[in-house]
């Protein structure tokens, strides 16, 4: 085994871009215009229902502030997050008139925080509703709240019987409830009997909430038909390019592009093994590109290859190349033997998502769903935001004030990982 020499290494345009951010292991590009286009498509599909935007978990890893601002500029008026901290980030990016719902709900001592940033709890338990009522009476707060009714998820929400019990309160007026909602269990499965069952249950109970707007559909639910759309729909993953109709072609535009740098080119002889455990054996003299990404960056170990199983692929110099051996914490080995010898060089960038490799494809290799792929990516990557009238700032030394970037693609330093948020609510 030897390290291949590379005396005339020339950086590609992508590598030159990365070199300007030398501390980054790679570049995660988020296309805000694509997110807006996806929202507009979902909005058109759901007309006349209002189309909200779910931006929890740092907008599924894409940047809550940037995404919320872009959606608000496009006309989105209602947003959903998981936590109060997330609501604070979104409130700073959207107009004061925008409604922000917090899916994790209300706690006894959280009323002042809700009032301070003008957001609304999603209430799914009777004690929670009582605590919210007490706060509203004592403070005079009239910012509104949603009622979540469980129609089959068995996760959050009032039971149907509990919801029926508060109907007199709704009929009495001045109730402060601005939305009644539930959540579909199997919306991505067109023929799931749960869909019709939940629809019937929710339609019956929502009809008792006089004059209160109703919401049932997540991303996939929007495509089940107009009967599922009610007054408001709550797309999440579809905004970010995840296929909401996995039984058909993806109607959404791709949003993220992920590139990582080649840090070394190596040659291994036939019969030598690669990576931890020696689970992948070279069947020929092999040229490897060692890429600076791994499971610490959200590129899951499940994408590894061994002697009996082909793993994920990456795009190198415009061609798909297979992973060789196990994905490790910080590095991936990629078999580039079939490329022209000078096509892959130290310092070049390879594509992990993009150029035909979708989030959903990667999720298949990871043994998970696109939601988890997106929310796991990029803890050490520099971020570039394209379009969306983003007002982000490029990284700068701590001793200097950051300078504004007037270009169409703005760069952000690697983000602080968001707190874990409940999965699959949208």
Which of 8, 44, 116, 276 is catalytic? The answer is 276
Instruction: Judge whether 377 and 295 are in contact, CB under 8 Å.
Output: no
φ/ψ of 100, rounded to 5, equals -125, 120
State whether residue 15 is helix, strand or coil. Answer: helix
128, 163, 295, 332, 362 from 377: Cα distances, Å: 34, 39, 9, 15, 12
Instruction: Count Cβ neighbours within 10 Å for each residue of 372-404 and write b for 16 or more, e otherwise.
Output: bbbbbbbebbbbbbbbbebebebbeeeeeeeee
Q: Is 295 a catalytic residue?
A: no
Question: Would you state the structure tokens that stand for residue 127, as one six-digit string?
Answer: 């004690």
Give yes or no: 386 in active site. no
Q: Are 166 and 180 in contact (CB under 8 A)?
A: no
At 336 the three-state DSSP class reads: coil
Q: How far apart are CA 105 and CA 156, in angstroms?
A: 10
Q: Give strand pairing partners of 284.
A: none
Helix, strand or coil for residue 59?
helix
Which one is catalytic: 8, 41, 44, 56?
56
Spatial contact of 414 and 381, defined as CB atoms under 8 Å apart: yes
- Kind and range of the H or E element at 112? helix 111-117
Q: Which residues participate in catalysis according to the annotation?
A: 56, 276
């Amino acid at each position: 085994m030897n390290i291949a020499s590379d005396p005339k290494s020339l950086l590609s345009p992508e590598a030159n871009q990365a070199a300007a951010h030398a501390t980054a292991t790679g570049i995660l590009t988020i296309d805000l215009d694509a997110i807006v286009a996806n929202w507009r498509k979902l909005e058109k599909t759901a007309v006349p229902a209002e189309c909200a935007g779910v931006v929890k978990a740092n907008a599924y890893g894409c940047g809550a502030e940037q995404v919320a601002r872009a959606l608000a500029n496009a006309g989105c008026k209602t947003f959903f997050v998981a936590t109060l901290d997330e609501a604070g980030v979104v409130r700073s990016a959207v107009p004061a008139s925008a409604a922000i719902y917090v899916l994790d709900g209300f706690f006894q001592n959280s009323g002042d925080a809700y009032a301070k940033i003008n957001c609304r709890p999603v209430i799914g338990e009777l004690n929670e509703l009582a605590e919210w009522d007490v706060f509203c009476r004592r403070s005079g707060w009239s910012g509104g709240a949603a009622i979540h009714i469980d129609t089959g998820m068995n996760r959050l929400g009032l039971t149907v019987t509990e919801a029926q019990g508060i109907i007199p309160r709704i009929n009495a007026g001045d109730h402060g409830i601005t939305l009644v909602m539930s959540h579909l269990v199997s919306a991505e499965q067109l023929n799931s009997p749960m869909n019709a069952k939940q629809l019937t249950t929710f339609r019956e109970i929502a009809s008792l909430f006089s004059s209160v707007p109703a919401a049932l559909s997540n991303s996939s639910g929007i495509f089940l038909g107009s009967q599922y759309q009610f007054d408001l729909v709550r797309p999440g993953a579809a905004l970010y390019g995840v296929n909401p109709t996995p039984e058909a072609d993806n109607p959404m535009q791709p949003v993220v592009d992920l590139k990582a740098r080649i840090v070394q080119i190596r040659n291994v002889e036939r019969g030598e093994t690669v990576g931890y455990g020696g689970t992948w054996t070279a069947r020929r003299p092999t040229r490897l590109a060692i890429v600076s990404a791994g499971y610490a960056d959200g590129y899951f170990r499940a994408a590894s290859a061994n002697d009996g199983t082909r793993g994920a692929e990456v795009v190198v110099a415009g061609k798909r190349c297979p992973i060789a051996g196990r994905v490790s914490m910080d590095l991936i080995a990629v078999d580039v033997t079939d490329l022209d010898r000078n096509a892959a060089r130290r310092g070049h960038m390879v594509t992990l998502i993009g150029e035909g490799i979708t989030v959903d494809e990667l999720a298949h290799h990871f043994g998970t769903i696109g939601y988890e792929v997106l929310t796991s990516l990029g803890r050490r990557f520099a971020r570039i935001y394209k379009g969306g009238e983003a007002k982000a700032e490029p990284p700068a030394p701590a001793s200097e004030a950051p300078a504004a970037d007037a270009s169409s693609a703005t760069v952000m330093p690697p983000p602080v990982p968001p707190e874990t948020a409940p999965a699959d609510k949208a």
